[in-house]
Amino acid sequence: MISLKNSIVCITGASSGIGEACARAFAREGAALLLSARRKERVDRLAKALQEEFHVRTHTMFLDVRDRTAVDAAINGLPQEWRSIQVLVNNAGLARGLSKVHEGLVQDWEEMIDTNVKGLLYVSRAIIPGMVQRKSGHVINISSIAAHQVYPNGNVYCASKFAVRALTEGLKMDLLGTGVRVCAVSPGLVETEFSLVRFHGDGQRAAKVYESMKPLLGEDIADIVVFCAMRPPHVDISEVIVMPTDQASVHHVHRG
Ligand code: NDP
Ligand code: 8X3
């Protein structure tokens, strides 16, 4: 097991859900936290709370991962003491809508592809060269069981997560011999703001996704992310697929 104390951990989408829980879990290990999202006020509040509770260093950024120029500027403009990023958690992502392709909203598709695929690539492209140069680093992509199984009306979201899976595998090959590790954590149902975002703020519809079953929580995923990050340098967990006990596949959920 390695210590993460004072290691710089960069988490995208830290304003909510899994990203926020990862920030807390890494803070518990004493990591220095580089936190970003579009809702910067939430990230600032989180950073302040973690500083007070765990006495860790934090740096926050407004970041829309879809904006390539802004991503480059944010990473290249980091203060010197925040440049040696050891762990990148590519977490920022979302689903929009649940419709058949021939009835879907093009702007929903664009938002998913721009965030989940292109955004992940932009952030990775900006951060990984430093890891390669230092011969050390760890990229942890938050993927999904939707990267393995397609469900009705999940078309574009699933395609975006299949892409994350392909990019994770490709990156592992690209980084072979550099000392940089690559991992995907692929959850099933996790109760976060994910469904609220998917259904454009319809809370009742979002609540139904987790009705009469016990979903995973952001903390459950964060535990796994930190476990992966703390393995010895020669151990690279390729992927962890994790589902609630009440879920067997994207098609099978036990509702008691
Ligand atoms: P949340 O909606 O709670 O969190 C999503 C996070 O992504 C927010 O912090 C949001 O921040 C950020 N985000 C979205 N778009 C952008 C953007 N353009 N630029 C920067 N940040 C952005 O959902 P989850 O925590 O559940 O989702 C986190 C990841 O986990 C996603 O990649 C999702 O696909 C994946 N996942 C979720 C599962 C689930 O069941 N919940 C299961 C499997 C995978 P802000 O809006 O402030 O920018
Ligand atoms: C989120 C899990 O099954 O709702 O990636 O697509 S699912």
Domain membership flag for residue 2: no
Mean pLDDT of 106-131: 98
Catalytic residues: 157
Query: What confidence score (pLDDT) does residue 130 get?
Result: 98
Q: Which atom number of ligand 2 is nearest to the Cα of residue 189?
A: 2
* Rounded percentage of the chain residues whose pLDDT exceeds 90: 100
Specify if 109 maps to a domain. Answer: yes
Q: Is 117 in the pocket of ligand 2 (CB under 6 A)?
A: no
3 within domain boundaries: no
pLDDT digits (tens, 9 = 90+) for 87-116: 999 999 999 999 999 999 999 999 999 999
The string of pLDDT tens digits covering residues 191-234 is 999 999 999 999 999 999 999 999 999 999 999 999 999 999 99
Instruction: Provide the domain count of the chain.
Output: 1
pLDDT number for residue 229: 98
Distance CA 49, CA 54 (A): 8
Is 1 contained in some domain? no
Give the residue whose CA is nearest to atom 4 of ligand 2.
Answer: 189
Q: Which ligand is closest to the CA of 152, given by its number? A: 2
CATH number of the structural domain spanning residue 150: 3.40.50.720
User: For ligand 2, is residue 206 a contact (CB within 6 Å)?
Assistant: no
Q: Which of 98, 192, 225 to mutate to test the pocket of ligand 1 (most atoms within 8 A of CB)?
A: 192
Angle at which helix 155-174 crosses helix 120-134, to 10 degrees, equals 10
> pLDDT tens for residues 60-77?
999 999 999 999 999 999
Burial class (CB in 10 A: 0-12, 13-18, 19+), 215: buried
For residue 87, what are the domain limits? 8-253
Give the separation between CA 240 and CA 222, rounded to whole angstroms.
12
In a domain, 179, yes or no: yes
Question: What is the 227 CA–ligand 2 centroid distance (Å)?
Answer: 22
Evaluate whether residue 89 is within a structural domain: yes
Question: 118: pLDDT confidence band, cut at 50, 70 and 90?
Answer: very high
Residue 93 alpha carbon to ligand 1 centre in Å: 4
User: Which pLDDT does position 139 carry in this prediction?
Assistant: 99
Each residue's pLDDT tens digit, 12-69: 999 999 999 999 999 999 999 999 999 999 999 999 999 999 999 999 999 999 999 9
